[in-house]
Chains A and B, each alone.
Chain A
Amino acid sequence: MGAALPVVAALREFLPSRSILHEEEDTRPYECDGLTAYRQLPMVVALPETEEQVRRILQVCSSMKIPVVPRGAGTGLSGGALPLGDGVLLSMAKFMRVLRIEPRARIAVVQPGVRNAVVSELAAPHGLYYAPDPSSQIACTIGGNVSENSGGVHCLKYGLTLHNVLGVRGLTIEGEPIVLGGEAPDAPGLDLLALAIGSEGMLFVVTEVTLKLLPKPQCARVIMASFDDVERAGAAVADIIAAGIVPAGLEMMDKPATHAVEQFVGAGYDLEAAAILLCESDGTPEEVDDEIARMKLLLERGGATRMRVSRDEDERLRFWSGRKAAFPAVGRISPDYYCMDGTIPRKRLGEVLTFIGEMEKKYGLRCPNVFHAGDGNLHPLILFDANNADELRRTELFAAEVLEKCVAVGGTITGEHGVGVEKVNQMCVQFGAGELEVFRGVKRAFDPLGLLNPGKAIPTLARCAEYGRLRVRGGALPHPELARF
């Protein structure tokens, strides 16, 4: 049946048959990304291998008014790559080439399907690395990182994707080439590169990325500190920042989270602690010794009940392994989990954690927490069973309340995972009609027909109005069959 689709016929004119999937058994693997609660079979999956093929796919789709959803590795956690039933899913997975590493210029030029971790591996012989290290870095692609402005555990000191991408090349929905930024600083005109990064595949399709490489610090050590109270751990973080230290990594996990990961990876975490902090220092051996000593003193004064400092690289990586494996570890103790991504001013941590505790009681669901403590980015993980419709419903209400609390304390609904389909409704809470209209104007400037990843990230006013009515009625949502989150 799919073979009869006009778009398939048009794509076959220039794409080999292996690059076009339209039978259900072939398109099934693309029905969702990392947010598995939302699934939709795409009409067609296209797997181009060259920029010219991408250009022609986009020309076909724009002339036939068919929406296009770009996809990298599909590890995104907000449904940004959720397909459309009447659309083409544009998989960039075959764009896997590292085009060049230039050690003297300290750049890597890569195709968007290159995996994040590959860049640092290839740069390592030159003493260089690519700083952003999202926990999914083994699988996630640079193209996806650009779309989501991905972070990682070292971004307090080294920045997000935004701070480490020098330039991108891409194609508009009409197939026109677009080049933003480059090796030289401060490109002329408006900073469209800043707009493009984190735009969730809604402005144009990225076909090449120039990354900044940094010299690898000579050494790094991490302190693992235990606290018997989560708020005290939060206060210790503030003490470190107030002392003029910007640690290379500053992460917190609460007791339920450490218990989950300890069973999974055996990182040696203190299971008695209400919270543990991981504080990393990097630099020359002299700098690291000095900074570790200062941080230890501050943590001790701040009430740390136990401290261990990594003695060698193996131990350092082991301490981090638990944090990096937090999501899969939680996946083992619960049939499903729902990961939130709100960011708050750090000083409001205690208040927000107390609120989450209240929500656990209100909805009867558990919620371990991992927290990028240095930059205020929370990842509470609500545990539920998707086969239990009522648990899913309660999970969504729980998540919505927490995100709205993040906005209320001056934070944001998403720090690094993106809005996608998941948090479109909460955009109505964070922004007013004026801001949303500006966002739509930005979208139109790049994609006047609204064909690139439509329906994601930026809600329509009608949708906000409907969500507003739903919220007024409180906890009991009418029409549970409507797709809302």
Chain B
Amino acid sequence: MIEQFAQTIREGAARGRALRLRGGGTKDFYGNALRGEVLDTRSYAGIVDYEPTELVVTARCGTPLADLESTLEANGQCLPFEPPHFGAGATLGGCIAAGLSGPRRASAGALRDFVLGVKLVDGRGQALAFGGRVMKNVAGYDVSRLVAGSLGTLGMIAEVSLKLAPKPRVETTLRQEAPLARALELLNRWAGQPLPISASAWHDGALLVRLSGSEAGVRAAAATLGGDHIVAPSWTELREHTVPFFSGAEPLWRLAVASSAPPLELEGPQLIEWGGSLRWLRSTQDAAVVRDAARRAKGHATLFRAADRSAGCFTPLDAVLERMHRQLKAAFDPAGILNPGRLYAGL
């Protein structure tokens, strides 16, 4: 089966024909323009190995993310980075290639932190294996984590092994009123204390904080933080962008900044996550203005959803990094046929 994909890629490389690696297509909106003939990865599906006592799962790229999550859930485990699906057909391969993490990012870590190994079909059509199924592995460069978030520009992720976490025994969400500056102050202060905060969000004058852990720990922390226990909106709705903030046609910007950065002076409504380090913005302001505000907050801005993506979605790289990106692309995909331009022009 991998050999069929490899064959297609080899033919593409021989003819210089671009291929567009695609699972469920739920993240077609993300990144720069889509080019090339679709290489549908969904037929290569299924869990290869799952041993709950090892806290590791290995699955094929076409595995529906929802199926994988329900298998883990049945064993009291979860993907610690809580990835967004952005649609019913999301696959594991697309999830890893997009590299997007969800609400638990600030406490548990990023998607790439949990990638232990990949099987990759590179741009020459070679099936390669990097990393493995063990927690600690420093043999060779960490290519499996490089591939996470590479938007299919380095190869087709055929299989991936991930570190898992047990599902928290208890979770509760607290809500309190706070203007943005106050909310950021609280979030940064709380993050410096040993509290079981597993997610946070601020929008429209309300701060939501999720606590996860043992019953005793969550109860004690809830008393410290204060606020009202609530059930809606759910963290899944926030993660999937189905809360009203995310609907409508205005461009959606994703600003990743230092969590302690003050409120950003930009036009348009904002929704804050990850303890203050992720700031969503609905705005028609000039890209240069938005990127500059992110840079001053020690971060970067991505045009996450917009009708016009022609100017490039991601923050441009400096000359040294751009050269390294091009050379890495050449090392994995010398013919430049895999998802060309999806991450950066010329890549």
Which residues of A pack against B, CB within 8 Å? 102-106, 126-128, 148-149, 151, 155-156, 159-160, 162-163, 172, 176-180, 182-192, 194-195, 197-199, 203, 215-218, 238-239, 241-242, 244-246, 283-284, 286-287, 289-291, 343-347, 372, 374-377, 410-419, 423, 427, 430-432, 434-435, 438-439, 441-446, 448, 457-458
User: In the docked arrangement, what's the CA distance between A189 and B325, Å?
Assistant: 8
- Supply 10 A–B pairs (Cβ within 8 Å), ascending by A: A106-B188, A182-B258, A184-B294, A192-B324, A195-B141, A287-B214, A343-B137, A345-B54, A441-B331, A457-B140
Which A residues are in CB contact (< 8 Å) with B215? Answer: 290
B278 interface residue, CB < 8 Å from A? yes
| Residue in chain B with minimal CB distance to A212 | B109
Minimum Cβ distance to chain B for residue A207 (Å): 14
* A162, A188, A414: the one within 8 Å of B302 (CB): A188
Which B residues are in CB contact (< 8 Å) with A217? Answer: 194
Is A245 in contact with B277, judged by CB distance below 8 angstroms?
no
* A128, A177, A417, A445: the one within 8 Å of B327 (CB): A445
Q: Which of B165-173, B201-209, B235-243 makes up part of the contact surface?
A: B165-173
Which residues of B pack against A, CB within 8 Å? 51-56, 76-77, 99, 101, 105-106, 109-110, 112-113, 122, 126-130, 132-143, 145-146, 148-150, 153-154, 165-167, 169, 188-189, 191-196, 213-217, 220-221, 256-260, 274, 277-278, 294, 297-300, 302, 314-315, 317-318, 320-321, 324-325, 327-328, 330-332, 343-344
Which B residues are in CB contact (< 8 Å) with A434? Answer: 122, 126-128
User: In the docked arrangement, what's the CA distance between A138 and B217, Å?
Assistant: 33
* B53, B106, B302, B328: the one within 8 Å of A347 (CB): B53
Given the interface contacts A176-B320, A441-B328, does A156 sit within 8 Å of B53 by beta carbon? Answer: no
Given the interface contacts A438-B332, A441-B328, A442-B328, does A245 sit within 8 Å of B166 by beta carbon? Answer: yes
* B136, B141, B278: the one within 8 Å of A442 (CB): B141
Is B320 in contact with A286, judged by CB distance below 8 angstroms?
no
User: In the docked arrangement, what's the CA distance between A418 and B136, Å?
Assistant: 11
Which B residues are in CB contact (< 8 Å) with A160? Answer: 136
Which 6 residue pairs spanning A and B have beta carbons closest together?
A441-B331, A184-B299, A244-B166, A286-B216, A415-B136, A445-B327
Which A residues are in CB contact (< 8 Å) with B315? Answer: 188
Is B165 in contact with A246, judged by CB distance below 8 angstroms?
yes
User: In the docked arrangement, what's the CA distance between A106 and B258, Å?
Assistant: 10
Which B residues are in CB contact (< 8 Å) with A343? Answer: 134-137
| Residue in chain A with minimal CB distance to B260 | A105
Which A residues are in CB contact (< 8 Å) with B54? Answer: 238, 241, 345-347, 376
Which A residues are in CB contact (< 8 Å) with B128? Answer: 432, 434-435, 438
Which A residues are in CB contact (< 8 Å) with B343? Answer: 189-190
Is B194 in contact with A194, judged by CB distance below 8 angstroms?
no
Which A residues are in CB contact (< 8 Å) with B314? Answer: 188-189
User: In the docked arrangement, what's the CA distance between A418 and B256, Å?
Assistant: 32
Is B217 in contact with A286, judged by CB distance below 8 angstroms?
yes
Given the interface contacts A190-B149, A192-B321, does A218 sit within 8 Å of B194 by beta carbon? Answer: yes
Given the interface contacts A184-B258, A441-B330, does A418 sit within 8 Å of B138 by beta carbon? Answer: yes
User: In the docked arrangement, what's the CA distance between A218 and B180, Å?
Assistant: 29
Is A188 in contact with B142, judged by CB distance below 8 angstroms?
no
Minimum Cβ distance to chain B for residue A446 (Å): 6
User: In the docked arrangement, what's the CA distance between A191 and B317, Å?
Assistant: 12
Is A104 in contact with B188, judged by CB distance below 8 angstroms?
yes
| Residue in chain B with minimal CB distance to A166 | B258
User: In the docked arrangement, what's the CA distance between A432 and B128, Å?
Assistant: 8
Minimum Cβ distance to chain B for residue A51 (Å): 15
Is B320 in contact with A178, judged by CB distance below 8 angstroms?
yes
User: In the docked arrangement, what's the CA distance between A244 and B321, Å?
Assistant: 41
User: In the docked arrangement, what's the CA distance between A141 and B1, Å?
Assistant: 46
User: In the docked arrangement, what's the CA distance between A92 and B113, Å?
Assistant: 28
Is B52 in contact with A242, judged by CB distance below 8 angstroms?
yes
User: In the docked arrangement, what's the CA distance between A338 and B274, Å?
Assistant: 44
User: In the docked arrangement, what's the CA distance between A345 and B149, Å?
Assistant: 26
Is A345 in contact with B51, judged by CB distance below 8 angstroms?
yes
Is A190 in contact with B325, judged by CB distance below 8 angstroms?
yes
Minimum Cβ distance to chain B for residue A214 (Å): 8
Is A438 in contact with B331, judged by CB distance below 8 angstroms?
yes
* A238, A377, A417, A458: the one within 8 Å of B135 (CB): A377
Is B256 in contact with A411, judged by CB distance below 8 angstroms?
no
* B126, B137, B142, B214: the one within 8 Å of A197 (CB): B142
Is B138 in contact with A106, judged by CB distance below 8 angstroms?
no
Which A residues are in CB contact (< 8 Å) with B154? Answer: 190
Minimum Cβ distance to chain A for residue B204 (Å): 23
Minimum Cβ distance to chain A for residue B143 (Å): 7
User: In the docked arrangement, what's the CA distance between A137 and B192, Å?
Assistant: 23
Which A residues are in CB contact (< 8 Å) with B327? Answer: 441, 444-445, 448
Is A377 in contact with B136, judged by CB distance below 8 angstroms?
yes
Which B residues are in CB contact (< 8 Å) with A241? Answer: 52-55
Minimum Cβ distance to chain B for residue A44 (Å): 27
* A126, A176, A194, A417: the one within 8 Å of B112 (CB): A194
Is B256 in contact with A185, judged by CB distance below 8 angstroms?
yes
Which B residues are in CB contact (< 8 Å) with A192? Answer: 146, 321, 324
User: In the docked arrangement, what's the CA distance between A84 and B52, Å?
Assistant: 46
